[in-house]
Amino acid sequence: MSLLDFGWLETVLLAGVRIVAFLIIAPPFSHGAIPARIRVMLGLGLAVAVAPTLTAQQALDTGAFIETLIMQVIVGFALGFLIQLAFAALQSAGGLIDLFGGFQLAQGYDPQSLVNGAQFTRLFQITAIALLFTTNGYQMVVAGIVRSFAVIPVSSMPDLSVNAQSLATGFSQMFLAAVQIAGPLILVLFLADAGLGLLTRVAPALNAFSLGYPLKILITISFGGVLFVLLPGVVASIMDSGMTLLARAG
């Protein structure tokens, strides 16, 4: 009689694969500053920690184990992508501000967060990651993937139609949140362009559009600073949305 329960060991390994796949995609653990080996160690450690709550299954043959392993990778990636999708709203909002504020020409690639954008895009992304660590939001991310085992056990097949619906809902909420975050500033910039257009129409000799870029930069930095102060509340709201998406996926 073997002293090692292979069914329990396979269950823990499958849980660890799901958690590692989740940590590769989900912020803030997806940031390049966190080494891959740390994510793997954290994922396996969490799998061992949640092992008492997992239902040990019978030892699988090679084909069934590989099939279940691939499914756990897909589930982990899908759940992590839902969290990534929620936080993409901040990145999209920063992109809208850069576009309408005239900063879009100064784009740069951040290899750590894998973000290609201008100043406000990268600023919002970095700030969101920092707030996740300072406000213990990362604990909610970890708790979300741990709770997924109660809804989607490692031995069962998830309902892919529900996950597809959650992805569609996440996309729509992401675009809506981006417009809600950047909408007031975009409206102010639009009114500034409209005012300059009317001024040029009334007094063409003033060449008011020559003041367009400096004025829009001043407005963007001023109102962007106000929006930056409100980011902690925005990140908390996005965190709640991400947890809701995870619950719906389950």
Residue 163 included in any domain: yes
Q: Which residue has the tokens 């003033």?
A: 206
Decide: 96 and 179 in contact? Cβ < 8 Å: yes
Task: Work out the pLDDT band at 235, boundaries 50, 70, 90.
Answer: confident
Q: Name which residue leads in pLDDT, 158 or 64.
A: 64
Residue 1 included in any domain: no
Q: What is the pLDDT of residue 160?
A: 59
Number of domains the chain is built from: 1
Q: Compute the distance between CA of residue 242 and CA of residue 91 in angstroms, rounded to an integer.
A: 15
Q: Does position 1 have pLDDT exceeding 50, yes or no? A: no
Residue 169 included in any domain: yes
- DSSP conformation class of 116: E
Give the pLDDT mean for 102-117: 71
Q: Does position 147 have pLDDT exceeding 70, yes or no? A: yes
Q: What is the pLDDT of residue 209?
A: 66
Residue 242 included in any domain: yes
Task: Work out the pLDDT band at 136, boundaries 50, 70, 90.
Answer: confident
Q: Compute the distance between CA of residue 90 and CA of residue 113 in angstroms, rounded to an integer.
A: 13
Residue 80 included in any domain: yes
Residue 24 included in any domain: yes
pLDDT tens across 148-198, in order? 887 777 776 666 555 566 667 766 777 777 777 777 777 887 887 787 778
pLDDT tens across 23-51, in order? 988 888 888 778 888 888 988 888 888 88
Q: Compute the distance between CA of residue 157 and CA of residue 178 in angstroms, rounded to an integer.
A: 33
Q: Compute the distance between CA of residue 38 and CA of residue 20 in angstroms, rounded to an integer.
A: 10
Task: Work out the pLDDT band at 208, boundaries 50, 70, 90.
Answer: low
What is the pTM (predicted TM-score) of this model?
0.77
Q: Which residue range(s) make up the domain with 107?
A: 6-249
Number of H helices, E strands in the chain: 8, 2
- The rounded percent of the chain whose pLDDT value lies above 70 is 81
Residue 117 included in any domain: yes
Residue 207 included in any domain: yes
